[in-house]
Structure 1
Amino acid sequence: MRQSTSVAIIGAGPAGLMLGHLLAQADVPFVILEAQTREHVLGRIRAGVLEQGSVDLLAEHGLDADLRERGLTHHGIYLQYEGQRHHVDFVDLVGRTVTVYGQQALVKHLLAEHDRLGSHVVFEAEDVEPVGVAGSRPTVIYTKDGATEELECDFVVGADGYHGVCRRTIPDGGIEVFERTYPFGWLGILADVPPSTDDLIYALHRDGFGMHSMRSLEVSRLYVQVDPDESIDDWSDARIWDALQTRLGVDGWELTEGPITEKSITPMRSFVVSTMQHGRMFLAGDAGHIVPPTGAKGLNSAIADVALLARAILDHRAGDDSGLARYSDRALARQWKVQQFSQWMTDMLHVHHEVPDASARAFRYRSQVGQLEYVTGSHAAMQSLAEQYAGLPFTTE
């Protein structure tokens, strides 16, 4: 069967779903194709901190009802080292906040809104293949329920993640990948216990990084630094809580323990492509870039991409192609700033066990302590951190 639309969006994660809403509100026809089942998409547990710009965009488009009900507004973060905890107050420093709201909840709400609108979202679309993207009228070929479908469109948007098909369809020589793999990972847990902190805690400890986040007033999200090749089977609940108590502990404060409902180990890497456009195909979100989670930038970067891309598509329909021509350069200009911040936070807060020489490891650790002492003791340094953590503007000229 042959169909047609204006924008074929591949991927029903936050980038694809959000772009669909931005287009729907401007009456731009679109179809979203997703390889996984609806249940799989709703079950993916990912990031949980929204920048001020992401919150504002959702509010601007009337997509913040669940966020307003369930989101937790935070005025800053804590940086902890050598047994001392220091608050970085974003409101005082830059007049902005962040909101803890899980990606899983955002996807659920955006998908429910698409259901309400009657949007064309196809789950379990198999063998998806964009073709003819270098021409004037691309086609996306896919299989649904054993039948081959062809979706003709004006533009293809690859919001299908790091392992998706879109980036891989760009010919050799048409794209370059820049990547860094980190020598540590995060063991993350969800626990049915109220958070023991009002703002997120980032802790440098001699044993490794520790972090206290949350998903709601009843559910805590916590992390410890581990080797990326460790097995989750080697980490009992008791061992995890012991590591968290050690790395997050300070005098006069208590970490409350509770039942662990989910645990996993995630390797960490940085990844950016040289271009987010090939002909009439545009990449967005994890298809074009990935950051280590330390700076809470992955979900927000995806939202920033589609905010920029939606505006460019609307301008195109009004006769102005300059936004589409500049989309890749503008998105990547913002992304490289985000990458440096995420890398800076990651290098500063993780113990570098991979350094082979004991003296060099000790030097590295002491220099990180010095770095944290500078950041927490300098108004200018804290202001810079707050500006970047609360979020850079979504557009880059």
Structure 2
Amino acid sequence: MEILIIAIVIAVLGIGAATGLVVGSRRKKQLPPPPAEAPEISRPKPAEPAVGDEAGEGAEGPRRTIEEVDLPAGGGTAVAEPEAPAAPELEVPEPTAGRLVRLRARLARSQNALGKGLLALLSRDHLDEDTWEEIEDTLLGADIGVAPTQELVERLRERVAVLGTRTPEELRTLLRDELLTLVGPDMERAVATEGGVSADGEELPGVVLVVGVNGTGKTTTTGKLARVLVADGRSVVLGAADTFRAAAADQLQTWGERVGARTVRGPEGGDPASVAYDAVKEGISEVADVVLIDTAGRLHTKTGLMDELGKVKRVVEKLGPVGEVLLVLDATTGQNGLVQARVFAEVVDITGIVLTKLDGTAKGGIVVQVQRELGVPVKLVGLGEGADDLAPFEPEAFVDALIGD
């Protein structure tokens, strides 16, 4: 028994010794050595002192003053100046002399049906009453008007009776003479642009008011008229008195810039009479030859607006006389154009007519009818969309276009 106890004690002691050896061996295990310290690297001193550093001279020596620094030639870094926008190149308008003759082919394309129809009828061997009625219907269909048509037919009947035998050339000469008489070759058709002298001896420009309803091409006509005058050697000032249409002043100014004419304009919706007055004053100060005033496109049914047009004329006349009032009519409107013409004539004294779109579906007889209605001549005609398609009206060239070759 004692031997058994001794054996157990020895076994226990052996196990403890073994455990201590294991523990001890773990404690004595070598840890990896600490990393070697990196050698100190000399770094350059920052160019600018850090917070807390003593101020002192930098590594490059003392700083230089602005006076000691050599600046580049020209006083510093050269900065490219933006290029000024190039001035618009002035256009040279086409000479007005003979312009209608040059545009005759364009006019004849839509107008010579009248002349051809009349010549065909007059060339019949026997001119009975039915033929004369056809001649009368042809003239009425060309918008010549009832009274002028009756006069023309009566004269034609008398001259044909005297002629007896009628050759095509004789008929053409006869018809040309009678149509020319109807158009009025002796009417004064030059646009009145001559200025005058004020009571103080100051030179005054010629003043031209351009009036008409919306859609007749009034503003465009004013711009084209400026080109006509510049082509004839006149200096022009434009007055954008159509203040109720936003694009009108811009449009007119563009026309003026193309030929070197100054445009006077006011605020949108401003007083048209005030703009017209300022334009004439500008024309006086610049010693311009002509002031063209584009008025608002009044609807002829608006009495108040028409009265305002009369006000524009009265205000301008405080500075000097208005030499010309041109009514712009769309030649394609026919009888409606005559209604417009009558209303305008009641408000301002119309002195001349501009017929636009005469190269389109217009009937040439409107020239005769509108002159009869107003007692004033057609002075200018528009024959297209081109800048130089506004021509002084020449009765001979117009009648030749009506009859054709």
TM-score bracket relative to the smaller structure: under 0.3
Q: Which has the higher helix share?
A: 2
Bigger CA radius of gyration: 2
Q: Which has the higher strand share?
A: 1
